[in-house]
Structure 1
Amino acid sequence: MLKIHKKYRSQNNICRYAFLRTFPDGKINGKKFDTNEKIGSYIAVRVNGDDTGADKAEVFKTCCLKEFPFPEYLNEKFLGEDLIWVRMARKYEMVHTNKAIYVGNYLEDGLTNNRRKHNIASPVGCMHRAEEFMEPDLKIKYRIKGGLQYIVYGKFAGFHVIDLIHKSKYKVLVTACIPGGLFLYSRWGKAQ
């Protein structure tokens, strides 16, 4: 970490460094970056580069985290951190390094394996996360997924569909996602 930081710390457009994570058996969590020390935003490399499924070991410059604080929502205890990563990516880039610095496993009752349950219990924050993923700088498949999640978590938060359309900047996208969003809302609600 120090070696990478020394190399890039003077570059004010870089806010963090992403390293690889491995499982205890040495297998990489997800995949390596296509280029070692690739510089690019979280949106360009991880989201639009389709590497969103695997956790990485990330190190941040403190000033950047202070600039993008995590929002708090009344009576909610969970929020996907990628809400902040996407916001941060609209201003800063990061260095993606093919060096594993973190060894870990997922617990059966951990956050990753129970994310949907936590999301449903914290629907307002998840609505705001979904709104970030509807922005036009993301690939259309993530924008549609954001629209679906906006409907789903909006319904779990107690909003009517009409109110969700009116609240959104992306009324056409949200309207197109209503049938699928209501289907998922019904399905996820039954699974609770």
Structure 2
Amino acid sequence: MMLSILTATFNRADLIGNLYESLKKQTCKDFEWIVVDDGSLDSTKEIIREYQKLNEISIKYVYKENGGKHSAINIAIEQASKDFCILIDSDDYLLVDSVEKIHKKINAHENINRNFIGYCFRCVLEDGSFLGSDFSNKYYLPKELVSTPTEVMRLALGDMAYVFKTSKLKQVKFPIIYGERFFPELYIWNQLSDVGRIKYFLHIPVCVVNYQADGLSSDFIKLLKGSPIAFYIYYIDMIKREKRIFQKIKYIVRVFQSIYFRLKK
């Protein structure tokens, strides 16, 4: 089993080096790094070209005009050539043994049961604490489970590191909507969970997140205003999946917000 690490980046020349350094230090080197530059105006291209010259890890670099992270992810998936794919943002990085842990867990399960379409691991903050709920010391909660992205979201675990079979990931794409530059990743993860099972490892961290003040996670309303059709599609889908009445109502409110912002554009 080999891994394609996919990174969509925009103007992160000052931070992408942290990710590169973490990839260089991996205890297992069975991976390729695919960087899709979504029209960066800084020195990202030159930096990645220098990394390629060093030939310390396998790197593919693709430059495209700015169209949003989801459009860059689509291209990265097309470029992937290994068995499994994981998305890592350019301002995040991996723990030194992340690739090794992913390999071991997936290989162990694939040797027994190949019915899983994907696997999911945890993210931590830079101080080492789990993002969201910490399940590591709660003996009454499972450390592993088979579930869906929508169901796991109820556990308040924050962003997670999904690893999907490349062959299955290539069968889905983020919708591209003219004039919009964002589409929620959970929409695609849910589509994948409709056709295959996902195994969650709630106690195994692989990714260190480093949220930026100007990052996509920093201003939800701005994202909603900028990509109302994308969020409309996403929330309509979530209404169908959600079982809790209160949460359904919240999603219905979001649908009307999306319509409102679309009419204002």
Q: TM-score, normalised by structure 1?
A: 0.73
Separation in 1, partners of 2:183, 2:166:
20
Separation in 1, partners of 2:143, 2:157:
19
For 1:181-192, list aligned pairs within 5 A.
Answer: none
For 1:17-166, list aligned pairs within 5 A.
Answer: 17-32=119-134, 34-44=141-151, 46-47=152-153, 50-52=154-156, 54-97=158-201, 98-158=203-263
Contact between 1:80 and 1:129, CA under 8 Å: does it hold in 2? Answer: yes
Aligned residues: 157
Higher strand share: 2
Shift of 1:21: 0.8
Q: Secondary structure at the match of 2:247?
A: helix
Separation in 2, partners of 1:102, 1:53:
13
Contact between 1:15 and 1:61, CA under 8 Å: does it hold in 2? Answer: yes
The amino acid that maps onto 1:89 is S
Structure 1 runs (4+) greater than 4 angstroms displaced: none
Q: Provide closer, same or farther for how the CA distance between residues 93 and 32 of structure 1 changes in structure 2, counting only shifts above 3 A.
A: farther
Q: Provide closer, same or farther for how the CA distance between residues 53 and 151 of structure 1 changes in structure 2, counting only shifts above 3 A.
A: farther
Separation in 2, partners of 1:121, 1:26:
33
1:5 aligns with 2:106: yes
Separation in 1, partners of 2:191, 2:133:
24
The amino acid that maps onto 2:131 is N
Higher helix share: 1
Contact between 1:39 and 1:94, CA under 8 Å: does it hold in 2? Answer: yes
Root mean square deviation of aligned Cα: 2.2
Contact between 1:20 and 1:32, CA under 8 Å: does it hold in 2? Answer: no
The amino acid that maps onto 2:121 is F
Contact between 2:133 and 2:156, CA under 8 Å: does it hold in 1? Answer: no
Contact between 1:21 and 1:28, CA under 8 Å: does it hold in 2? Answer: yes
Q: Note the residue ranges of structure 1 that are not aligned, 5 or more in a row.
A: 160-192
Shift of 1:42: 2.0
